[in-house]
Structure 1
Amino acid sequence: MKLICAVILLCEVVTAAREYYGAPLGPLSSLHHGVSGDVYAVDSRTLFIKNFNYDGEGPAAYFYVGNTKRIQNQGAIRLRDERGSSGVIRRYRNKDITLSLPEGKTLRDIKWFSVWCDEFAVNFGDVSIQRNFEFPRPYKLAPLRGVHAVSSDNIVVVDAQTILIPNFSYDGEAPDGKFWVGRGDKPTPNGIRIPDENGRVTPLQRYDRKTIVLTLPGDLTIFDIGHFGIWCEAFTVDFGHVKIPSNINVPPSLKMLGVSPQLWY
């Protein structure tokens, strides 16, 4: 019965899981050559463009960011495309792309993003970035404290599907301890098992101040849950948990962006 309830909850959460690409900056203005798309800030130095379109007919179009009042290439920064190429950008049709600012630059340093033609000094489409814009960043939670020597330093929500537990300890003596999440502020038998750092959902073994990274399964995100902790499934006992605030401003995961880790630069 416990397993059936957990499966039902997981199915409900996955069904309700929203698309999330980061903090929205707004749509690209469609000025020339069919440029369009919705721009998001993934984190302090990464942009994501959903359904990007460009007809590829411009003679020397590039992605640019800058902090000038007027959009231009002088004093601006040319970005590499999603493949890491610095060449003229090609045709795009409803393509999702991820672009990175160069090292040492963040969204705090720029006022606009543009598809710009160097040859004719024309802005094909742009979006502005507000001065006090809050870009997504990892979010620090409380430390774990509980029975069976459960403890940790402050837990960090790295992105919408990744949880970092620094210096995690647990004596491993309970028969059925699991990493556990669910709706609401406190664990219940209707929660969801979270695979350990090795991808297993077997009872947890002993940990002694080990730093581990956990990934939420499937399409489950941090926005779908209200707590994270250690739960004994056999005896329905809470070994320690932390609350997760709603609507925290964290980056999307690579999976949510459709980006493979080897393409993240």
Structure 2
Amino acid sequence: MNRLACVLLLLSTAVNAAYFGVYIGDITSNDNLIAKAFIANRTTIQLSEVNIPDDINYTFGIKNGDIIEKLKVMYIVEGKGRKAFSKRLRNDTDIPENSRLVLRIPRGVDKWEKLVINDEEKQIEIASVDINKPYPEPFCCLQTNQFQGIQGKHYNVSTGPVTVLDSHTVRISKFAFDGTKAPDGWIFAGKGGVSQETGHKLQVLGRDEVVQCALHEQYVGDGELIARLPPNVSVYDIDYLAVFCYQYDVDFGHLDVNFTPEENPLPAYIPPTSDQPFPAPKKCD
């Protein structure tokens, strides 16, 4: 792949990866955009491009008929890449321009009609947007038949069906791999032919948070792996999911992936909650 093609691929990937959930509309007041609203999952609404006027003592709420349930658990997404985190936000906190907010729906609120922004001091509604679309759900499953996902070519690679948990995260059931015998092994995903040039190494959760290493353990098919794509790549940007030998550029086995946000709306990835950035995992020596 030449240098220009690589640059174009990276640019297109960065643009396509900004997925916040099912879009429900713009929140506007006096023709000014306050935020773009998305249903992220069954308990969460996300707002992007948030610009709330400084003179508004704002609160967010879910409105059903004449009843408004105030949203008390809110986060602002800070940081970039794998250092991104969701920081708890108080109602009276100033919000920087073009922020991204995560709003948690209170337990027991099963019916959503509108998301509203109120001026608490003036006791008036500033803006609202209808919530008239179903929430996105995980996809089950990527598989080659009823019982199997990846059917491997080398080192006894095989998996059960693969569930797509959110726009960046997959759960690989019944994972089997002779990692003690292979030169190396990675959960790998990309677009095009399966190769070093087209793909990305996924982070295995519960294993790669501090140091991200190749899979050198023995897996016998009695457990699962949960793996996450890099922050700038979503499942909408890939067309394969593989077990891959990076050292020798060999596909040990893969599944085809074909998702679009319109036809396959998935829960959006939400960065984990924290008060400070997460350190990026180190690479193995």
Answer whether TM exceeds 0.5 for this pair. yes
Q: Does 1:77 align with 2:69?
A: yes
Whichever of the two has the greater Rg, that structure is: 1
Q: Which amino acid aligns with 1:207?
A: Y
Q: TM-score, normalised by structure 2?
A: 0.71
Choose from 80, 97, 101 the match for 1:97.
Answer: 101
| Cα 1:241–1:7 shift into 2, 3 Å | farther
Give the distance between the partners of 1:262 and 1:251, measured in 2 at CA.
20
The verdict on how the C-alpha distance between 1:177 and 1:84 changes in structure 2, with shifts beyond 3 A counting, is: closer
Q: Contact between 2:173 and 2:225, CA under 8 Å: does it hold in 1?
A: yes
Q: What CA RMSD, in Å, does the superposition of the two structures yield over aligned residues?
A: 3.1
Map of 1:25 onto structure 2: 24
1:8-157 alignment runs, 5 A limit: 12-16=8-12, 17-18=14-15, 19-31=18-30, 36-58=34-56, 61-68=58-65, 72=66, 75-80=67-72, 81-82=74-75, 83=88, 85=90, 87=91, 89-94=92-97, 95-106=99-110, 109-117=111-119, 120-130=122-132, 133-140=133-140, 141-142=142-143, 143-147=149-153, 148-157=155-164
Paired with 1:23 and 1:205, the residues of 2 have a C-alpha distance of 38
1:66 maps to amino acid: K
Q: Which runs of 5+ in 1 are unaligned?
A: none
Q: Percent identity?
A: 20
What TM-score do you get using the length of structure 1 for normalisation?
0.76
Work out which of the residue numbers 179, 185, 189 in structure 1 matches 2:187. Answer: 179
> Counterpart in 2 of 1:211?
224
Does the C-alpha gap of structure 1 residues 168 and 219 become closer, same or farther in structure 2, counting only changes over 3 Å?
same
Mapped to 2, the partners of 1:162 and 1:56 lie a distance apart of 37
Q: Distance in 1 between matches of 2:203 and 2:46?
A: 30
Inter-CA distance 98–178: structure 2 relative to 1 (3 Å threshold): closer
Q: Which secondary structure does the structure 2 equivalent of 1:76 belong to?
A: strand
Q: How many residues align?
A: 241
- Take 1:105 and 1:144, find their aligned partners in 2: how far apart are those partners? 39
Partner of 1:202: 214
8 Å Cα contact 1:38/1:50 also seen in 2? yes
Change (3 A) 1:189 1:58: closer
